[in-house]
Amino acid sequence: MKISVSFIKSKYNEKDTVNLIDKTDAEYVHVDLMDGKFVEHKNYTVNDIKNIVNGTNKKLDVHLMCKNPSKYIKDFASLNTEYITFHLEAVKNPDEYIKEIHSYGIKCGISIKPKTNIELLKPYLEKIEQVLVMSVEPGAGGQKFIMDSILKIESLKKLKNDLIISVDGGINDKTIDFVQAADMVVSGSYICLSDDYQAQINKLR
Ligand code: DX5
Ligand code: ZN
């Protein structure tokens, strides 16, 4: 299972946190971008992100919690980005953003909030590479894992077996047991609030 590390809740500033993530064997740096519209809190500008991730040896796994994904797609395309994920609940025409992300040769993910039914993803599954299943409400790190999310993993796999399923929120050495069917997990505070990032990652693996 691949591990994507979110740096928003850490003992250190973002830059130092990404430097520490770089020293681990995690596969991705997970970039949580919040616009203050789709979610209450606004965190970074694209320039902030560019400064934070400048020099990282990890690929980026970008999670746009934003009403207007287009505002950011082009900028992330110029970084070492493997996935750009937008929220199904945030946009009117998902096809538009799927096309835009693919036009830069970047893999497209769609994320759904804990209460969103996976049936709503059906029209898009054949066009995308990843689904990011939120196991907390988007908007903040350090929340408690929502158990109902587990069911979505198996159901999505049945709908499309080569889909990359990533689970985001509340992942730690206990909750990881429930998401073994996923291909990828996002973990933030469990890793970045610790003194030894690699030791926490080893426990997840
Ligand atoms: C929540 C973010 C998550 C979150 C992960 O809005 O999308 O990526 O910060 O952090 P933890 O692992 O602390 O739940
Ligand atoms: Zn996230």
**Model confidence over 4-46: pLDDT tens digits?**
999 999 999 999 999 999 999 999 999 999 999 999 999 999 9
Series of mean pLDDT values for 10-residue runs along the chain (205 residues): 98 98 98 98 96 96 98 95 98 98 98 98 98 98 97 96 97 98 98 98 98
Q: Which residues have C-beta under 5 Å from ligand 2, the single-atom ion?
A: 32, 63, 168
Q: How many domains does the chain have?
A: 1
- Using CA atoms, how far apart are residues 98 and 185, in angstroms rounded to an integer? 22
Quote the pLDDT of residue 201. 98
Minimum CA distance residue for ligand 1 atom 4: 141
Closest by CA position to 149, among listed 122, 167, 176: 167
DSSP string, the chain: -EEEEE-SS-SS-HHHHHHHHHTS--SEEEEEEEBSSSSS-B---HHHHHHHHTT--SEEEEEEE-S-THHHHHHHHTSSEEEEEEEGGG-S-HHHHHHHHHHTT-EEEEEE-TTS-GGGGGGGGGG-SEEEEESS-TT-SSPPP-TTHHHHHHHHHHH-TTPEEEEESS--TTGGGGGTT-SEEEE-HHHHTSS-HHHHHHHH-
CATH number of the domain bearing residue 79: 3.20.20.70
Number of Cβ within a 10 Å radius of residue 9: 17
Mutate to test the pocket of ligand 1, among 43, 62, 84, 168 (most ligand atoms within 8 A of CB): 168
Domain that holds residue 46: 2-204
Q: Mention every residue, 6+ apart, whose C-beta is less than 8 A from residue 202.
A: none
pTM score of the predicted model? 0.98
Quote the pLDDT of residue 78. 92
From 32, 48, 148, 173, active-site residue:
32
